[in-house]
Amino acid sequence: MSFTFEVKDEVSKLNYMEAESISELSAIVNSFYEFDGKIKIVTENNSVARRIYTLFKEIYHIYPSVAVRKGYNYSKKILYVVEVKSKTDYILKSLGIINKVPEEFIWADEDLIRAYLRGLFLVSASVNDPKKSRYHLEFNLNNLDYAKFVQKLLNGFNLNSKVLHRDNRYMVYIKEAEKIGDLLRIIGATKAVLYYEDIRIYRDHKNMTNRLNNCEQANVDRAVETASEQVKNIEYLKEKDVFELLSDKEKEAAEYRLKYQDVSLLELSQIISVETGNKITKSGLYHRLNKITNLAKRLKEK
């Protein structure tokens, strides 16, 4: 069972006041209605089909026909077809469906907008399982004006949704993990939110740990490369018989670098401080070794 299926199954079992149920049903019908005199809604989720049937029965006291058939795609999924042939003009008017964008009374306040998005999610949305793939939630719509309307509703909750034209459809999508969690919370999918947030926090923690490990490894690599370069420069000075031109402190730093080639600058400064009794800081040691490096560079350039 997919994560999308589980979220829809949870949301389809929620109960609300009639005004919110009307907004929810408006979104459901609007996603399928083609202005051909009948209302026909197709879904792969049996819980969603039952929800749609119940909404028509409780709001309009009618009993839609429900048919079950196999899909025409390769997966041969079971499809549930809910169809209403009577009172359609009255139903469409009461649902605010005159044009593709519904009448304002359907989404007049925040609770109604939540209900509308809930209905739209049931029949038009999909969301990736955060455990298995990247963060992504989308609504698959067939009209640009309607897609922009849905984007407006979503972004009223600061969800940062975008619209994308794909083939002959329009996709309103959200990519940010935190925003997807917010939308699941908005439509009342409490169990899904808890699961989603647990996985998101785990993945964020894992990614942060990986970044810290990569950063630490990069620092180690840089330290090794720097130490290797310092050793080469010291050996070069000795080869050219100019090592004696260095000051006593620089010679001391050079000899200790040759003796301890694999340690970091901080560790080397601590070793020198302990063995000689003369405390030297990391920055002080860097300054001495840097003079050696600059001298070697000048000789190489000549």
Q: What DSSP assignment string belongs to 42-95? A: EES-HHHHHHHHHHHHHHH----EEEEEE-SSTT--EEEEEEE-SSHHHHHHHT
pLDDT at 168: 86
pLDDT at 152: 96
- How much is the pTM? 0.69
Same domain for 151 and 261, yes or no, is: no
Contacts for 51 with CB less than 8 Å, ≥ 6 apart: 12, 13, 122
Same domain for 32 and 113, yes or no, is: yes
Same domain for 167 and 244, yes or no, is: no
Distance CA 82, CA 65 (A): 6
pLDDT at 53: 95
Residue 55 lies in a domain: yes
Distance CA 193, CA 183 (A): 9
Same domain for 120 and 220, yes or no, is: no
Same domain for 27 and 155, yes or no, is: yes
Quick one: which of 119, 121, 126, 163 has its CA closest to 144?
A: 163
pLDDT tens series, the chain, 302 aa: 789 999 999 999 998 899 999 999 999 999 887 656 789 999 999 999 999 999 999 999 999 999 998 866 656 688 999 999 888 889 999 999 988 899 999 999 999 999 999 999 999 999 999 888 788 999 999 889 999 999 999 999 999 999 999 888 999 999 998 999 999 999 999 999 999 888 888 777 666 777 767 776 777 777 778 878 888 888 888 887 777 778 888 888 888 888 888 778 888 888 888 888 888 888 888 888 888 888 888 888 77
Same domain for 237 and 150, yes or no, is: no
pLDDT at 245: 76
Residue 148 lies in a domain: yes
Same domain for 94 and 161, yes or no, is: yes
Residue 80 lies in a domain: yes
Range of the domain at 220: 216-301
pLDDT at 35: 57
- What's the domain count of the chain? 2
Quick one: which of 137, 134, 146, 135 has its CA closest to 170?
A: 146
Residue 47 lies in a domain: yes
Residue 280 lies in a domain: yes
Residue 66 lies in a domain: yes
Instruction: Judge whether 24 and 16 are in contact, CB under 8 Å.
Output: yes
Residue 48 lies in a domain: yes
Domain ends where: 188, 206, 224? 188
Distance CA 201, CA 195 (A): 10
pLDDT at 36: 66
Same domain for 138 and 245, yes or no, is: no
pLDDT at 257: 82
> In the 8-state DSSP scheme, what is residue 130?
T
Residue 207 lies in a domain: no
CATH of the domain at 40: 3.10.28.10
